[in-house]
């Protein structure tokens, strides 16, 4: 493959001021009749937006919200210092020649509860207690009438939770409460209540308290680390030589039973001084640890693997991808130290929807002790099919602490982490790596045989180095060389998959399967295209329906109150910063679109298709308002990555 300027071309927001030069490297080849200039593109959107807004106002829009009129407020780029005019002037300046790269580290971070200052007490919302949980220390409102007076207007006439399950657990705080509130403000319940599907891998409150108080004992991890301290590599000795661990009463401790038969949850943290009562006959499974050859196999060869995507790879997005044909899903990268501390936000990354039939979690860490203890904790408390180690994260925050890509240069620590985690886990252990750290110094072919010997069940190789990032195409020729080095361990390839042709070429290298990352963000229906071996010229209305389904899944997952709505909006906007790069099939001069090709300015076949092609954050907000209603006052959004939108 020829090296392209992936992510570099048009990183300031497009492929130039005009569509001339559609054959220019790094620019998507769009048919000339659709091409336009930057000025004409935005004039068209603003004119149509004002026209639609005036129609809505004449029809009696209750909110009276004017998307075009509040554009300057929305696009404010400062950190909330009130300099709206200066920010608006700044956005009108011509684009700088320097390419925007990296993350928007200084962007304003407004938590969802910032938009919901007058919050109702949870005891009144849940209708499950006669008195407040917090007593006299409660800082929430207890007057429902006062709350309703200050509550913003409803965002729509239909509540997704009420229509789907027959009852909305958010009651009066729901932003669609008019659909299920009675004349006296009571929360209505339909005759046939459908129970919501259980979301697995949630953090139990009792377990969280034990983690915060450090009351959890990690017997298997301590045993593996003890062997490590003696100079023996865990997992390298036959199972028969592993000494039996004795309990407090001098009886053999049922070590494996803690992970497999004990109830999942807080009971797994019982100190070893209190022997657990069991019943039934004693079997070998109770006292003998599984040998590596007896572990559950991870048979995903030939399946489509959705990569763990930070920020965008949330549970609602994974549900969208599962619907379009993704076979294997993995949670977002979770930091092991945060999991061991019981942080709610980190444990939320482990949640699993019932539709995810093959699901894993990805851990990031730099040291054997924390990674091994975290692996044992997850082995006890969550339901997963595999655990993945992140050795591919390139960001400085992780790399400088010795995690992510840094482990590729710390082979001793890397080996200890893999061996110790493999010993305490009852599910397969997988690893995701890059070609190396430096651009011209490949390390993967040296590490793969070692990973096979250390006990990894599968390795995924991203065909780029840390230093390279996305400035060049993935090196699939090198991935092909690594397939031989990894054999017989299965190797998945990752990088630049955006069409079924890309997938077919990747499979010709001999990889066991492909992992899809950015391609799924640009078009989640890619999984359908691969399985049906065709290009899908999806319409703008169908794409809007996908976004609507995402918001419905988001309201189910994060809630339909103000916090849940704004959290759903935030993740929707982050996803839209990738979706705008997609070019409809019917507009392309040649097929397929390549992942390193940024679209020039073009007018779509209808207004919605043109709006979805905008790389301006204010237009993404406009799309979110179609689905989630008007944004709160002083709403600000900047995408996580600078390359995803221009200022």
Q: Sheet of 458-462: strands edge to edge?
A: 304-306, 513-516, 491-494, 458-462, 429-434, 386-391, 359-364, 329-335
**pLDDT tens digit string along 185-239?**
788 888 788 888 888 999 999 999 999 999 999 999 999 998 887 776 776 544 3
Tell whether the model's pLDDT for residue 376 goes beyond 80. Answer: yes
How far is the CA of 540 from the CAs of 143, 585, 598, in angstroms?
45, 12, 19
Kindly report the number of other CB atoms within 10 A of residue 389's CB atom: 27
CA-based end-to-end distance of the chain: 33
Least confident of 90-99, 192-201, 385-394, 612-621: 90-99
Q: Is 306 helix (H, G, I), strand (E, B) or coil?
A: strand
- At residue 533, the pLDDT reads 96
> Which percentage of the chain shows pLDDT scores above 70?
74
Residue recorded with tokens 């590490």: 447
Q: Give the separation between CA 454 and CA 233, rounded to whole angstroms.
A: 9
pLDDT of 35-87, one tens digit each? 999 999 999 998 876 665 555 444 444 444 443 333 333 333 333 333 333 33
Q: Encoding tokens for residue 330? A: 């993995």
Q: Grade residue 264 by pLDDT with cuts at 50, 70 and 90.
A: very low
| pLDDT (mean) for 480-484 | 95
Q: Which tens digits make up the pLDDT trace of 323-339? A: 999 999 999 999 999 99
Question: Can you list the pairs that 528-533 forms with residues at least 24 positions away whose Cβ atoms lie under 8 Å?
Answer: 528/324, 528/325, 529/499, 529/500, 530/304, 530/325, 530/500, 530/503, 531/304, 531/325, 532/500, 533/500
Rounded average pLDDT over 20-25: 55
The pLDDT of residue 391: 95
Q: Which pLDDT band holds residue 103 (cuts at 50, 70, 90)? A: low
Q: Which residues of 269-278 are buried (b: 16+ CB within 10 A; e: fewer)?
A: bbeeeeebee
Q: Quick one: DSSP state of residue 252?
A: B
Distance CA 140, CA 143 (A): 9
pLDDT tens figures, 434-459: 999 988 899 999 999 999 999 999 99
Task: Calculate the CA dihedral of residues 110, 393, 321, 299 and round it to 10 degrees.
Answer: -150
Task: Identify the pLDDT of residue 54.
Answer: 56
Whole-angstrom Cα Rg for the chain: 27
pLDDT on residue 339:
96
Residue 359 CA to residue 339 CA, distance in Å, equals 18
Residue 231 DSSP class: T
What pTM value is reported for the model? 0.81
What is 340-406 written as a DSSP string?
HTT-HHHHGGG-B-TT-SSEEEEEE-SSHHHHHHHHHHHHHH---SEEEEEE----HHHHTTT-GGG
Q: 268 versus 584: which is more confidently predicted?
A: 584
- The proportion of the chain whose per-residue pLDDT surpasses 90, expressed as a percent, equals 56
**pLDDT at residue number 121:** 80
If you search the block for the tokens 């975290």, which residue do you land on? Answer: 374
Active-site residue 393, yes or no?
A: yes
Beta bridge partners of 494: 462, 515
Tell me how far apart the alpha carbons of residues 546 and 549 are, in angstroms, rounded to a whole number: 5
What is the dihedral sign for C-alpha 227, 230, 233, 239? negative
The whole-chain average pLDDT of the chain stands at 80
Q: What is the DSSP letter of 294?
A: G
Please choose, from the candidates 360, 356, 346, 348, the residue with its C-alpha nearest in 3D space to the C-alpha of residue 318. 356
At residue 471, the 3 state secondary structure works out as coil
> Does pLDDT of 23 surpass 70?
no
The tokens describing 246, both together, are 């004795």
In angstroms, rounded to a whole number, what is the distance separating the alpha carbons of residues 605 and 612? 11
Say what the pLDDT of residue 565 is. 94
* Secondary element (H or E) of residue 487: none
Q: How far apart are CA 646 and CA 409, in angstroms?
A: 36
Residue 172: is its pLDDT beyond 70? yes
Q: So what's the pLDDT on residue 418?
A: 96
Least confident of 70-79, 89-98, 109-118: 70-79
Among 413, 348, 337, smallest CA distance to 373 is for 337
pLDDT interval class at 111 (50, 70, 90): low
What's residue 455's pLDDT? 92
CB 525 within 8 A of CB 536: yes
| 523-527 mean pLDDT | 97
Q: How far apart are CA 263 and CA 269, in angstroms?
A: 10
Does the structure show a pLDDT above 70 at 279? no
What was the pLDDT predicted at 77?
36
What residues form DSSP beta bridges with 389? 363, 431
Is there a contact between 256 and 289 (Cβ–Cβ < 8 Å)? yes
Least confident of 300-314, 362-376, 441-455, 630-644: 630-644
* Catalytic pick among 121, 336, 393, 580: 393
pLDDT on residue 114: 61
């Amino acid at each position: 493959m020829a090296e392209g300027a992936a992510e570099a071309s048009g990183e300031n927001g497009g492929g130039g001021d005009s569509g001339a030069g559609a054959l220019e490297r790094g620019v998507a080849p769009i048919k000339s009749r659709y091409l336009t200039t930057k000025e004409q593109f935005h004039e068209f959107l603003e004119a149509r937006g004002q026209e639609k807004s005036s129609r809505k106002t004449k029809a009696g829009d209750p909110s009276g919200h004017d998307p075009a009129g509040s554009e300057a407020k929305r696009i404010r780029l400062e950190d909330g210092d009130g300099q709206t005019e200066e920010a608006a002037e700044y956005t009108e300046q011509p684009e700088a020649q320097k390419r925007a790269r990296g993350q928007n580290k200084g962007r304003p971070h407004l938590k969802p509860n910032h938009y919901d200052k007058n919050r109702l007490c949870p005891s009144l919302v849940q209708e499950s207690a006669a008195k407040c949980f917090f007593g006299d220390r409660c800082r929430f409102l207890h007057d429902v009438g006062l709350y309703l007076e200050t509550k913003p207007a409803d965002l729509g006439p239909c509540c997704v939770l009420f229509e789907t399950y027959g009852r909305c657990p958010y009651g009066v705080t729901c932003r669609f409460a008019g659909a299920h509130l009675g004349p006296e403000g009571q929360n209505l319940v339909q005759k046939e209540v459908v129970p919501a599907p259980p979301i697995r891998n949630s953090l139990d409150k009792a377990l969280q308290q034990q983690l915060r108080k450090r009351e959890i004992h990690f017997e298997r991890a301590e045993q593996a680390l003890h062997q490590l301290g003696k100079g023996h590599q865990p997992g390298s000795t036959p199972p028969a030589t592993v000494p039996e661990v004795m309990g407090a009463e001098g009886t053999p401790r049922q070590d494996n039973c803690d992970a497999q038969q004990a109830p999942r949850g807080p009971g797994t943290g019982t100190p070893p001084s209190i022997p657990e009562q069991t019943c039934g006959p004693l079997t070998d499974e109770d006292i003998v640890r599984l040998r590596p050859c007896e572990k559950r196999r991870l048979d995903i060869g030939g399946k489509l693997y959705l990569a763990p995507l930070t920020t965008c790879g949330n549970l609602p997005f994974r549900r969208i991808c599962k619907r379009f044909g993704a076979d294997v899903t993995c949670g977002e990268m979770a930091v092991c130290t945060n999991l061991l501390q019981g942080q709610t936000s980190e444990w939320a990354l482990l949640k699993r929807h019932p539709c995810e039939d093959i699901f894993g979690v990805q851990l990031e860490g730099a040291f054997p002790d924390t990674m091994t203890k975290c692996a044992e904790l997850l082995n006890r408390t969550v339901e997963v099919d595999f655990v993945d180690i992140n050795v591919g994260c390139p960001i400085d925050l992780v790399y400088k602490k010795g995690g992510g890509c840094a482990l590729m240069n710390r082979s001793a620590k890397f080996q200890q982490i893999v061996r110790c985690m493999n010993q305490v886990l009852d599910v397969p252990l997988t690893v995701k790596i890059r070609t190396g750290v430096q651009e011209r110094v490949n390390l993967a072919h040296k590490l793969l045989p070692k990973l096979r010997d250390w006990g990894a069940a599968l390795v995924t190789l991203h065909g780029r180095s840390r230093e390279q990032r996305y400035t060049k195409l993935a090196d699939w020729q090198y991935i092909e060389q690594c397939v031989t080095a990894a054999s017989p361990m299965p190797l998945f390839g990752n990088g630049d998959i955006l069409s079924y042709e890309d997938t077919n070429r990747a499979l010709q290298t001999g990889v066991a399967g492909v992992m899809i990352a950015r391609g799924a963000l640009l078009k989640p229906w890619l999984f359908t295209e691969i399985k049906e071996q065709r290009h899908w010229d999806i319409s703008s209305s169908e794409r809007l329906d996908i976004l609507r389904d995402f918001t419905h899944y988001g309201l189910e997952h994060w809630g339909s109150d103000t916090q849940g709505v704004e959290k759903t909006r935030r993740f929707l906007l982050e996803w839209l910063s990738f979706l705008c790069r997609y070019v409809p099939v019917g507009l392309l001069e040649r097929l397929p679109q390549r992942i390193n090709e940024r679209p020039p300015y073009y007018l779509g076949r209808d207004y919605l298709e043109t709006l979805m092609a905008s790389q301006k954050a204010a237009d993404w907000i406009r799309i979110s308002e179609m689905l989630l209603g008007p944004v709160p006052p002083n709403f600000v959004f900047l995408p996580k990555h600078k390359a995803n939108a221009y200022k």
